[in-house]
Structure 1
Amino acid sequence: MSDKTIKRLHPALRDDIGDLLTQRPLPNPHLAQLDPFLFLNHHGPQVYAPNNHGLPFGPHPHRGFETVTFIVEGMLTHKDSAGHESIIREGGVQWMTAGRGIVHAEVSPAEFLQDGGPLELLQLWVNLPGSLKMTAPAYTGLQRGDIPAIGSADGRVTLNLVAGQWQGRSGPVNSLTGVFMSTIELQAGGSLRVPELRGRTLLLYVVRGAIEVGGDLASAFNLVEINDEGDSLEISSEAGALVLFGHAEALREPVVAHGPFVMNTREEIVEAINDYQAGKFGGTL
């Protein structure tokens, strides 16, 4: 058994959306995707003043993939055309399967607009294979308490299990494509080894602090591209860190993306646009 190593660090690129501080680690000039992981935005951290305008993500459509939103700090209201609505707070996660088409909004709840406060979010897009792109839309909203927090024996590491299996426990999201998804909190001196990763695509992003992998350091706001060689991954932190960690089987399919639609062909993109304009993505929010 051998450990995986870092291939390259990809610093997140600043790309603010209005007054929302935004940094984007994926895609970037050197990496179009980490199949099946397509896109990752890191919003914040920042503090909103009272009587603010909140998040700018009003109603917009999606087709062909899944969105996963991590509320690191603050709160978020989700509404969609399939009738789902929830307010998710700090430590929670939203997992939405756009499938054949959905319109959703991610905005700030009234109490945040009035009172303000800290805000930090991660939004990840996970591709679906062609065979599932037209699946029925679905949504799961999880509060912190819904997500198993699995601690290490020494208490220095906590893995928050969103999807997949870890130490005999299962995450609350049943991924359509067998994606493992988590956040990992490492205290000073914490270390975690993840086995049985050969052939899997790894997603590793440092949200806060710094980690060490294979003797190399990766600090906050860096996407860590991992070499294919090796069976396991060991992550450690000298001073503490928060990381987003997932892994999945690569789809190895053509990706044609146009704004909020991700399909396999240009013809399917045209069809998605026409279907949305024809009102086939569900009711208004």
Structure 2
Amino acid sequence: MPAITADTLTLPRLPELPEAATAWRKVHKVVRAAKFLEGEGFQVRRPFPSLDLAMADPFLLLDHMGAVEYGPGEAKGAPWHPHRGFETVTYMIDGAMQHTDSIGGGGLITDGSTQWMTAGQGILHNEVPPQDLVAAGGLFHGVQLWVNLPRALKLVQPRYQDIAATSASLIASDDGGALVRIIAGELDGHAGPGSTYSPITYLHATVSPGARLAMPWPRDFNALVYVLSGEGTVGPESRPLAEGHLAVLTAGEALTLQAAPTPTPWEILILGGRPINEPVARYGPFVMNTRQELSQAFDDYQAGRLGQIPATHLSPADDQS
């Protein structure tokens, strides 16, 4: 995985937590990601919202794209579509994705970089593989996370954050056996570069075979662990967790995880946030608080009030419509 890496022996270390005196979070539930086709027909693995939304709040959706080795002409994307009422966070681990939007934002996301799009009051965008990847094929592996916005911020101005791989804050486990990339939020006083409206923490950890990763975690945040690749265990009860599975953890003040003694590292996402605890009305690309607001979003989209596809990006089919 070409996501940013470093010598863990040179990084700040997480504290060593006392075993008996620490309120470790246990595993409440394990969810296996279901498979779906998105956009022009690319497959994703989606562990939620198949589970109860309240268990993931403020997160709405997690799509694991790949890892897949595309042949020439096989790479697919998601053509122009609208969003309102939430944020999309696209983290590319291998390969590349090109974003373009109706307000002039977007760009190329590649090899460990992140693009954070706040749809807010409304935006149109597309997500497509760059032409060189389409022509030649290649490895593609990424994750898209949807983060809800509270009622008071549903209609904020759209914005983009381009987070380079080298911008992520790096920290090591207490013994140096795990590397943690902080994309957003804080871990033991170390802050990631992502600016968030909803208080969250978003981490990508590489845990060496057999190594343990223990970390403090805010008591008012929930905690989710999703496996990108490899195998390991979660919680003081050592619940097994393999690729494509998500663990939802109970309340507590710290997390403990351990990679299996396999030849390859355990690659995991660790997510948590302070629940918004508001009604959620969602349909397709819109996430609001009420059905009436959903209807208004569709009306605004049909009337062109969420933006227009830039003329330079119109296809013949778009132009005819």
TM range (shorter): over 0.9
Work out the number of aligned pairs and report it: 282
Task: Say whether residues 1:23 and 2:60 are aligned partners.
Answer: no
- Partner AA of 1:117 in structure 2: G
What is the CA–CA distance in structure 1 between the aligned matches of 2:45 and 2:106, rounded to whole Å?
Answer: 27
Change (3 A) 1:16 1:87: same
- Partner AA of 1:218 in structure 2: L
Give the 3-state SS of the residue equivalent to 1:123 in structure 2: strand
Give the alignment's Cα RMSD to 1 decimal: 1.6
Determine which structure has the larger strand proportion and give its number: 1
Q: Which moved more, 1:189-198 or 1:55-64?
A: 189-198
**Alignment check: 8 A CA contact 1:21 1:46 kept:** no
What is the CA–CA distance in structure 1 between the aligned matches of 2:83 and 2:125, rounded to whole Å?
Answer: 8
What is the CA–CA distance in structure 2 between the aligned matches of 1:257 and 1:177, rounded to whole Å?
Answer: 18
What is the CA–CA distance in structure 2 between the aligned matches of 1:267 and 1:241, rounded to whole Å?
Answer: 44
Shift of 1:19: 4.7
In structure 2, what is the equivalent of residue 244 of structure 1?
A: 269
Q: Which structure would you say has the larger Rg? A: 2
1:209-253 deviation line (CA, Å, top 9, x unaligned): 12212221111100111122x221111212321111121110110
- Partner AA of 1:157 in structure 2: A
In structure 2, what is the equivalent of residue 262 of structure 1?
A: 287
Unpaired runs of 5+ in structure 2? 1-21, 311-321
In structure 2, what is the equivalent of residue 8 of structure 1?
A: 29
**Alignment check: 8 A CA contact 1:37 1:203 kept:** no
1:101-138 deviation line (CA, Å, top 9, x unaligned): 01111101111111110111211111110000001111
In structure 2, what is the equivalent of residue 94 of structure 1?
A: 115
**Alignment check: 8 A CA contact 2:77 2:128 kept:** yes
Quick one: which of 244, 262, 278 aligns to 1:221? 244
Quick one: which of 175, 190, 215 aligns to 2:211? 190
Q: Equivalences for 1:113-152 in 2 at 5 Å?
A: 113-152=134-173
| Ranges of 4+ aligned residues in structure 1 off by more than 6 Å | none
> TM-score, length-normalised on structure 2?
0.83
Unpaired runs of 5+ in structure 1? none
- Partner AA of 1:82 in structure 2: I
**Alignment check: 8 A CA contact 2:148 2:198 kept:** no
Shift of 1:275: 1.0
> TM-score, length-normalised on structure 1?
0.94
Task: Say whether residues 1:72 and 2:93 are aligned partners.
Answer: yes
Quick one: which of 188, 195, 200 aligns to 1:179? 200
**Alignment check: 8 A CA contact 2:116 2:160 kept:** yes
- Partner AA of 1:222 in structure 2: H
